[in-house]
Amino acid sequence: MVNIGILGAAGYTGGELIRILLNHPQAEIVFAHSESNAGNLVSDVHEGLIGDTELRFSLDCPFDQVDVIFLCFGHGKSEQFLREHDIPSNVKIIDLAQDFRIAGGHDFIYGLPETHRQQIRSAMHLANPGCFATCIQLAMLPALKAGIISGDIHVSGITGSTGAGQKPGPTTHFSWRNDNISVYKTFTHQHLLEINQTVQELSPGYEGRVLFIPQRGCFARGIFVTAYARCDLPLEEVQRIYADYYKDAPFTHLVLKSPDMKQVVGTNKALVYVEKYQDQLLMISCIDNLLKGAVGQAVQNMNLMFGLDETAGLRLKANAF
């Protein structure tokens, strides 16, 4: 069994992580830390877990009793927490925030299994990718690796309200978000940093820009991304390149018709679709932002880090109806 501690366990990602780990055949949650909810039943906050666990939120963090900790803090808090606490050197760390995703000055491995599976297997410290970053990269990885696209890559993506976190705000309140759609952080979204890092890793010297327009959707969870760039290969050759790239990826699947987001919500799957329009390659991908875009991928990474079946605890069915 892998003994686990969860920090920041009262938010959306913490709740989903607990839900997944409670049903993981080789995982045991030792503590779920929350300063604001210490002593309360986890199921009093994450009410979907009523009847599943008697676990209570803890203020204590017995690091000497765990094999791995998950950091489910808001962005910027993980680095501060690790500075202020002495984590035993044998305890592995999986950070779900953006604090360590950009290389340099730390030993965290970027945890996108479709690009870094072997490095993840030997990692002690891992930075889990962002939700938009995961979805966008999965649309483009095979094309970048094979060098079959050129010029600017135009990306549009729409995300569910859970991507903004549990604390309500002016753009996440139900009455504002319902029946509404809007753009935000146009061309400046923070996930572009890790996306561009991967672009240069897979295709050194790539001269095009990733031009990203993120949108807020009027649904709770899921991400749907469309991207296009110049490509001179016929569609059949592009499909072969994509199928070969993802042949060993247990959760990322090339599909032959345009996917629907409902096919992935509630799962750790990513569906990828490609189409040609004259000299433009259309790349579509969709994921659940809380699972493949966050805690599902984090558990997938944990499985790799501990030599477990990569799919353990993650064989989930989509809520397609």
List the catalytic residues. Answer: 131
Task: State the pLDDT confidence band at 178, using cuts at 50, 70 and 90.
Answer: confident
**pLDDT top residue among 162 and 5:** 5
Mean pLDDT, range 152-165, rounded to an integer: 87
CB 211 within 8 A of CB 187: yes
162 and 275 fall within a common domain: yes
124 and 178 fall within a common domain: no
**Domain of residue 174, residue span:** 131-289
Tell whether 320 is covered by a domain.
no
CA gap 83, 42 in Å, rounded: 27
Tell whether 313 is covered by a domain.
no
Of 307, 298, 285, 49, which Cα lies nearest the Cα of 156? 285
CB 255 within 8 A of CB 239: no
Q: Is the pLDDT of residue 74 over 90?
A: no
Tell whether 317 is covered by a domain.
no
Amino acid at 34: S
140 and 104 fall within a common domain: no
Q: Is the pLDDT of residue 126 over 90?
A: yes
Share of the chain above pLDDT 70, in %: 96
Q: In what order do the strands lie in the sheet with 223-230?
A: 182-183, 210-216, 150-159, 223-230, 280-287, 270-277, 252-254
CA gap 40, 154 in Å, rounded: 46
91 and 142 fall within a common domain: no
Q: What is the DSSP letter of 222?
A: -
What's the pLDDT score for residue 319?
A: 79
Q: Is the pLDDT of residue 38 over 70?
A: yes
Q: Is the pLDDT of residue 165 over 80?
A: no
Q: What is the 3-state secondary structure (H, E, C) of 165-218?
A: CCCCCCCCCHHHHCCCCEECCCCCCCCHHHHHHHHHHHCCCCCCCEEEEEEECC
What's the pLDDT score for residue 321?
A: 72
254 and 297 fall within a common domain: no
Mean pLDDT, range 252-264, rounded to an integer: 97
Q: Is the pLDDT of residue 125 over 90?
A: yes
Domain total for the chain?
2
What's the pLDDT score for residue 176?
A: 78
Q: Where do the DSSP E strands lie in 91-143?
A: 92-95, 109-110, 125-127
The mean pLDDT value of the chain amounts to 95
CB 141 within 8 A of CB 232: no
Q: What is the DSSP letter of 221?
A: S
Mean pLDDT, range 191-212, rounded to an integer: 97
Mean pLDDT, range 104-127, rounded to an integer: 97
What's the pLDDT score for residue 174?
A: 67
Q: What is the value of pTM for the model shown? A: 0.95
CB 63 within 8 A of CB 155: no
